[in-house]
Amino acid sequence: MITKELVDRINWLARKQRSAGLTDEEKAEQHRLRQKYLQGIRSQVTDAMDSIGIPPKGKHDGECSCHTCKDKDLMH
């Protein structure tokens, strides 16, 4: 989950990296937090796509409402 605190910490580490540099521990934390942020973004996009009827790539079951499955239904 993306929180204000997560974004604030990522931004603080980025500013520190540009100004004074980061310790090895801070670099590891920065990487971990960025991965957590990206995971949150990916989850939001997936949820949004699911809510409008677009299945994940390669997951068409012929029952969803995406244009690929609708086109298949029209052909039969």
Convert the pLDDT of each residue in 32-54 to its tens digit. 999 999 999 999 998 898 888 77
Checking phi first, is residue 21 left (phi over 0); if not, alpha (psi -120 to 50) or beta? Answer: left
CATH number at 19 reads 1.10.287.540
DSSP 55: P
Could you tell me the residue range of the domain that residue 65 belongs to?
A: 4-75
Q: What is the domain count for the chain?
A: 1
Confidence category of residue 16, pLDDT binned at 50, 70, 90? very high
Contact in structure between 66 and 54 (CB atoms under 8 Å)? yes
Whether 60 shows a pLDDT value over 60: the answer reads: no
DSSP string, 27-51: HHHHHHHHHHHHHHHHHHHHHHHHH
